[in-house]
Amino acid sequence: MATLKTHETDASVDAFLDAVEDERKRADARAICDLMAEITGEPPRMWGPTIVGFGRYAYTYESGRTGEWMRVGFSPRKRNLTLYIMPGFSEYDGLMGQLGRFKTGKSCLYINKLADVDQGVLRELVSRSVQHMAEKYPS
């Protein structure tokens, strides 16, 4: 049975964020970190070498495979800021239409910089996502 390559570590979130080369991206990453910490009430933790995650949940697939993953997280990638919105975006069409400039993957929200999105809408999106995960995967 395969194990996830990305898992929670004891690495320093502050050291990771301090190492972000681009000054604007570093400031945006710190702002996202503060926002997610406030919404989740959880401290930031490194997941693998490049993802900052908050909280965790345990899951079991129909195959019986189990694992743990963060409830919400982000990574300041070279190309963009990637936010991990675990439920995906299909339930949030109204919010997504108000968010601003972004791209999405299955559970990834890609933004170039925080100034490209409405901060209040982003806060609501993260809040709803965290609430959804808490309901689906209670602690």
Give the chain's domains with CATH numbers.
13-136 (3.90.1150.200)
The amino acid occupying position 94 is G
Asked whether the predicted pLDDT for residue 100 surpasses 70, the reply is yes
pLDDT in tens, 107-131: 999 999 999 999 999 999 999 999 9
What confidence tier does 58 reach under pLDDT thresholds 50, 70, 90?
Answer: confident
Q: pLDDT at residue 2 above 70?
A: no
Cα separation, 65 vs 39, in Å, equals 30
Q: What is the pTM of this model?
A: 0.92
| Class of residue 128 by CB neighbours under 10 A (exposed 0-12, middle 13-18, buried 19+) | middle
Distance CA 10, CA 13 (A): 9
Q: Which residues contact 88 (CB under 8 A, 6 or more apart)?
A: 106, 107
64's CB contacts (< 8 A; 6+ apart) are none
pLDDT at 128: 97
Q: Is 42 exposed, middle or buried (0-12, 13-18, 19+ CB in 10 A)?
A: middle
Q: State pLDDT tens for residues 59-97.
A: 887 888 888 889 999 999 999 999 999 999 999 999 999
For 76, phi then psi, to 5°, come to -85, 85
